[in-house]
Amino acid sequence: MSSLCGLSIVNYLTICYYNHKKVHQLIKKRIIVVNGRTVRTPKEKVAETDEVTINGGKTAYQKCHYFLMNKPKGVLSTTENRSQRTVISLLDPQDRYQGIVPVGRLDKDTTDLLLLTNDGQLNHELLAPNKHVAKIYHAKIAGVADSNTVKTFATGMTLGDGTKLKTVTFNVLKQDVENGSSEIEIEISEGKYHQIKRMFSAVGMEVVELERVSMGKLRLPDDLKRGEYVEIDVDEIK
């Protein structure tokens, strides 16, 4: 029996392409066709072997989708918010698949690499503490980070509220002693709440700008601008 046997046209297209509201609109327009038959009701059933077209174009069943986004400042890494923009709102309507969520959260003012997917298993594996998926960030710091700072982070810090952190390595990319600032690259394998900001705060410094440049081996394409995203396939994820 097909794995899609008995799936309604609404659920099929929600998994593959659109949200429920959009599918109902397409049904009303009479432009969805299954095996040459125009779909007239949301209860229409679809099997994996069926040919489904929308306005003449063939669809292909694809349960999971993956997007790499260059997250801009001022946007929340969440699925919905009544008063503020979210990363989901940056997706084109046809890419807002059911279950699509950001993998982990970047702070509102943190930028760069963010993965969005409706692959729950992948989401879990990337965020599970025991998986140790490395995440690299670049940051501008108010304060002069030096070799002593590097050693402090490398020993495994305990924050003021008792939160224990794993050892962290980072490189000082640039120092400006006169203006009391630094630029650093830091790698972490866990994702505690505001972790990098809290770590530098614990040593009397402040994170002024923060961007995530990689997650595992995932990096953004060089030409991907802030607020833009690109779909990647499961092989690239693996």
Same domain as 187, residue 157:
yes
pLDDT tens-digit profile of 67-115? 999 999 999 998 888 889 999 999 998 788 878 999 988 899 999 999 9
More confident residue, 199 or 63: 199
Same domain as 222, residue 210:
no
In a domain, 1, yes or no: no
What pLDDT does residue 18 have?
Answer: 61
Confidence of residue 196 (pLDDT cuts 50, 70, 90): very high
Mean local confidence (pLDDT), 167-187:
94
Same domain as 73, residue 51:
no
Same domain as 74, residue 180:
no
Structural domain span for residue 177: 134-215
107 is catalytic: yes
What pLDDT does residue 3 have?
Answer: 41
b (16+ CB within 10 A) / e for 67-95: bbbbbbeebbbeeeeeeeeebbebbeeeb
In a domain, 2, yes or no: no
Kindly report the CATH number assigned to the domain that includes residue 116.
Answer: 3.30.70.580
Considering its fold, how many domains does the chain have in total?
Answer: 3
What pLDDT does residue 191 have?
Answer: 77
Same domain as 150, residue 200:
yes
Q: What is the C-alpha to C-alpha distance for residues 63 and 59, in angstroms, rounded to an integer? A: 12
CB 69 within 8 A of CB 228: yes
What is the chain's alpha carbon radius of gyration, rounded to the nearest angstrom? 22
Same domain as 122, residue 95:
yes
Kindly report the CATH number assigned to the domain that includes residue 171.
Answer: 3.30.70.1560
What pLDDT does residue 12 have?
Answer: 76
- Alpha carbon 181 to its chain's center: 30
Of the residues 95, 107, 146, 235, only one is catalytic, namely 107
In a domain, 144, yes or no: yes
Same domain as 121, residue 73:
yes
| Residue 2 scores a pLDDT above 50 | no
What pLDDT does residue 77 have?
Answer: 92
- For residue 91, the 8-state DSSP code is S
Tokens of 21: 């509201």
Same domain as 125, residue 79:
yes
Same domain as 225, residue 190:
no
pLDDT tens-digit profile of 30-60? 999 999 999 999 888 887 778 888 888 877 6
pTM: 0.74
Tokens of 125: 């594996």
pLDDT tens-digit profile of 118-175? 888 888 777 776 667 889 999 999 999 999 999 999 988 999 899 899 889 899 999 9
Same domain as 148, residue 45:
no
Same domain as 148, residue 84:
no
Same domain as 52, residue 40:
yes
What pLDDT does residue 15 have?
Answer: 63
More confident residue, 202 or 7: 202
Kindly report the CATH number assigned to the domain that includes residue 44.
Answer: 3.10.290.10
Angstrom distances, CA of residue 52 to CA of 1, 55, 92, 171 = 18, 10, 22, 53
Give Dmax over CA atoms of the chain in angstroms.
Answer: 73
Give the DSSP H/E element, type plus range, for residue 163.
none
